[in-house]
Structure 1
Amino acid sequence: MPSMQPYANPRYFVILIAALLPVIIGLLRGRRHRNYESFVALIFIIAMFGGDKWQQGVALIAYVIWQLLLVVCYGKYRQTKNAGPIYYTVLLASIAPLAIVKLTPVFSPQPSLIGFLGISYLTFKSVQTVMELRDGTIKQIDPLFFLRFLLFLPTISSGPIDRYRRFAKDYNGVPKQDEYLEMLRKGVRYLFQGFAYKFIIGYVFGTLMLPRVAHMALMQRSAMGGTGISWALVAYMYVYSMYLFFDFAGYSLFALSISQFCGINTPVNFNQPFKAKNIKDFWNRWHMSLSFWFRDFVFMRVTFMIMKKRWFKNRVRVSQLAYLINFLVMGFWHGVTWYYIVYGLFHAGAIIINDYWLRYKKGKSLPSNRWTGALAIFVTFNVVCFSFLIFSGFLNTLWFTHAIR
């Protein structure tokens, strides 16, 4: 029996929205039916991880129990004398399942038995909760609410990555009727925009165009003796970049849409990223919930640690090292392969170069008009597309295919 794939086809949306009708009617009347909403989430999660994906379902149950025990226990013992060692132990234990899943392909061709769809997003939520418990920004944990936060149906498989306190503020309240009507309006708009992105534009770039330009790039590479850059490879770079954006942004819009129907303002994930004028601006627009998560829980904490230990006196060197670690961790998170790691290092280098440029032009009377703005967007767009070519792993395919010939 096949499992139900989230956001895979129109039928999924019809069933999901029909199941959520009592939730929608309740919110229109000023009430949140939490138990019914949790029941619907449970049924859909069973459908997602049942059938031929029952092993993922078992892994999900074990994972959720593990994270719940870690968070609840740390919430109780974080103010003890040995709070420091306890914190780092809990943090490592929370990250461990995801680390095992990411490292398994290095040692075995078989996928990890503890892996399941959405493990990364659940780990980000769990780790963030542990860190904010330590900071004191989260005072206490309600186990049942933590489960609702962790397993919030619209975002479980593809994000965006929400924050515990922000989610709690929405979930524990009920929007006024006019506010909720506006949320429904936005939800419908996000839904149709997501359909256009994923099922139309994403289909054109990913299903119709991408295999063709990939084939042409392989043929041209072979004809050129395995050297040089072909026009088909450049075409692949742009087509893949468009596919990656519209497919992922479409998924994110679906999650936003269903969240709005549930009365939750899940954070927006994309904000016209290809209009960015520099690489830092790009990361403030692309997969925003992820980039902001890394900014707050990796970059800022690494920066604080370096400054506290006084590894460098120069603040510029501090930020450069923090950027390097931040994007290196992001690269490893995507997967332990050379192209994901190089992708992370590439963006770290691009941001460091961008910082040098921003400091250089500060105080100088350089031209600043719509033409220089358009040039900045053009350069940034091409730098990003090249990074996506690295990320795609297609360069690895080109080299491997030519090598075996």
Structure 2
Amino acid sequence: MVFSSLIFCTIFLPLCLLVYYGVPRVIGGGQERKIILSNYILLCFSLIFYAFGGVKYLLLIAAVILINWCAGFLVAQDRHGNGVRKVGLLCAIVCDMGMLFFFKYFNLFIATIENLFFGGELTGAERATGIFSGVGTGALGIDQIVLPVGISFFTFQALSYVIDVYNNKAEIQENLLFFALYIACFPQLIAGPIVHYKDIAGQLTDRAVGSYEFAEGIKRFCFGLSKKVLIANTIATVADKVWQSDISTLDATVAWLGAICYTFQIYFDFSGYSDMAIGLGKMFGFDFKENFDHPYRAESIRDFWRRWHISLSTWFRDYVYIPLGGSRCSMAKTCWNIFVVFLLTGIWHGANWTFFVWGVVYGILLIFERLWFGKILEKNPVKFLNRILIFIVVTLLWVVFRANTIMDAGIFISRMFIGGFKPINLLNELSGMSVIAFICACLFGGFVQAHMSIKAVKGNAFVCLGLLLLSLLFLVNGTYNPFIYYQF
């Protein structure tokens, strides 16, 4: 189940809100008792929500919850010596990363083994193609592992709790069910934002939702839903049509159209989902941090990563980059730390060489900026040129991210530069609705949006109601409704 579905918007969410606020009021009692009851209700609905992605995976998320909750007691400074604490931390890291790597990389590992050692009469080129495409020969007869929904997000979230307790930056959560709610709370369970326990620890035991906060949550949800359904989904039809064609025959015009449409699709798809998550959090009394800040207005690659998927960037900064030494060391070591972080960022996204290359290239670009090019960007008085340059670079790297294989990425990018411009071909790819969505994407993708009073637009109840009704109308009509980050 995703937020941008009719079953969620018209059945699950209204029922959850009714029970969440109605039952504690009927039962009565003090504020503490109401919070406890509300937490248990929200946890039950969160597990039901996750069960839509596969009932059997409830055991997985239960294991993650139990392992990290127990690890929290082992790593606390006031309970054990350094030896026990380090063992507890190591166990948590091994278990969390072990589960994540198993579900994400088992299929790629088997495909690599099959191509290397069980390739039969395959040529060297065919073996290499199989390895880099992640497609095995099937010689071992091992079924592929299905990736559990949201595992990349809730394992990182659970591990951040253990590390923060170990570093004495967060207190132990002694209530197992409260900790389970922190991990499984459905507004941020599937695709984040990745929430640090220390940021919402107080909200688990003491929160209140006034009419203003609840209304703000509804407005934020409506705004995010419209970004996802009206813009991302509409543009996705164009992007996917281009990508599903024979990319080796694309002309440059259509190739650039497909690349730019995907660039806008992934932003409005993911940022819209984050908006909905933040809005839902407000409805239930939680305050989640922002996850996007107009990333396509970035004036450098470094600036882009300050604005894009902020919760993931913050996680790697706090738990990888800074522990490695951050920038408080020699330039060579700093560059190595940057490279490691973005290598891991690429790996985090999935078991495909495209993600690996995507992360490595970003690491190299950031090192390049730090050593030299960043100074040129800073001194350039025409910042608009910086933004155009970064947008082009980001768009090219989204091609790598989107491609099924490295070979496909290379072919697609080559067509963007040597395919020949044939603007007339745009007529075959664009509909009236997609043109409107594309214009809206350009206007609200960051270039113009940051200069507009978006807060006032989101704050207008009539605008939000109109966006909600229009989004639901699109869903009723069976609009194309993919969700990119559902696979992570």
Q: Same fold (TM over 0.5)?
A: yes
The Cα shift of 1:89 comes to 3.4
The Cα shift of 1:275 comes to 0.9
Which structure 2 residues correspond to residues 309-320 of structure 1 after superposition, within 5 A? 315-320=330-335
Name the SS for the 1:20 alignment partner: helix
CA distance in 1, matches of 2:229, 2:373: 39
Are residues 129 and 48 of structure 1, via their aligned partners in 2, closer, same or farther at CA, if it must alter by over 3 Å? closer
Greater RCO, 1 or 2 (C-alpha within 8 Å, sep 6+):
2
Q: Does 1:190 align with 2:190?
A: no
Identical-residue share of aligned pairs (%): 20
Q: Does 1:356 align with 2:371?
A: yes
- In the alignment, which residue of structure 2 is the partner of 1:134? 166
CA distance in 1, matches of 2:334, 2:164: 23
Are residues 93 and 47 of structure 1, via their aligned partners in 2, closer, same or farther at CA, if it must alter by over 3 Å? closer
The Cα shift of 1:274 comes to 0.7
Are residues 85 and 174 of structure 1, via their aligned partners in 2, closer, same or farther at CA, if it must alter by over 3 Å? closer
Q: Which runs of 5+ in 1 are unaligned?
A: 222-228, 308-313
Are residues 291 and 81 of structure 1, via their aligned partners in 2, closer, same or farther at CA, if it must alter by over 3 Å? closer
CA distance in 2, matches of 1:391, 1:326: 17
Q: Which runs of 5+ in 2 are unaligned?
A: 111-141, 413-488
Contact 2:74–2:84 (8 Å) recurs in 1: no
Q: Does 1:210 align with 2:232?
A: no
CA distance in 2, matches of 1:187, 1:89: 38
- State how many pairs are aligned: 372
Are residues 47 and 289 of structure 1, via their aligned partners in 2, closer, same or farther at CA, if it must alter by over 3 Å? closer
CA distance in 2, matches of 1:400, 1:354: 24
- In the alignment, which residue of structure 2 is the partner of 1:292? 314
* Cα RMSD, aligned residues only: 3.0
- In the alignment, which residue of structure 1 is the partner of 2:195? 162
- In the alignment, which residue of structure 2 is the partner of 1:344? 359
CA distance in 2, matches of 1:349, 1:107: 26
Contact 2:157–2:196 (8 Å) recurs in 1: yes
Are residues 399 and 386 of structure 1, via their aligned partners in 2, closer, same or farther at CA, if it must alter by over 3 Å? closer
Are residues 98 and 367 of structure 1, via their aligned partners in 2, closer, same or farther at CA, if it must alter by over 3 Å? closer
- In the alignment, which residue of structure 2 is the partner of 1:231? 253
Name the SS for the 1:139 alignment partner: coil
CA distance in 1, matches of 2:306, 2:375: 22
Are residues 78 and 293 of structure 1, via their aligned partners in 2, closer, same or farther at CA, if it must alter by over 3 Å? farther
Cα deviation per residue 1:161-186 (whole Å; 9 max; x = unaligned)?
111111112233234x7xx3332232
The Cα shift of 1:47 comes to 4.8
Which structure 2 residues correspond to residues 2-401 of structure 1 after superposition, within 5 A? 5-15=1-11, 16-21=13-18, 23=20, 31=31, 32-49=34-51, 53-75=54-76, 78-108=80-110, 110-112=143-145, 115-144=147-176, 145-175=178-208, 180-206=210-236, 208-216=237-245, 218=247, 220-221=249-250, 230-303=252-325, 315-357=330-372, 360-361=375-376, 366-368=379-381, 372-394=382-404, 396=406, 398=408
CA distance in 2, matches of 1:43, 1:167: 19
CA distance in 2, matches of 1:217, 1:233: 11
Normalised by the size of structure 1, how large is the TM-score? 0.82
CA distance in 2, matches of 1:162, 1:373: 33
Question: Which range moved further: 243-252 or 132-141?
Answer: 132-141
Cα deviation per residue 1:354-382 (whole Å; 9 max; x = unaligned)?
223466459x9x452xxx11111111111
The Cα shift of 1:79 comes to 2.7
CA distance in 1, matches of 2:87, 2:49: 40
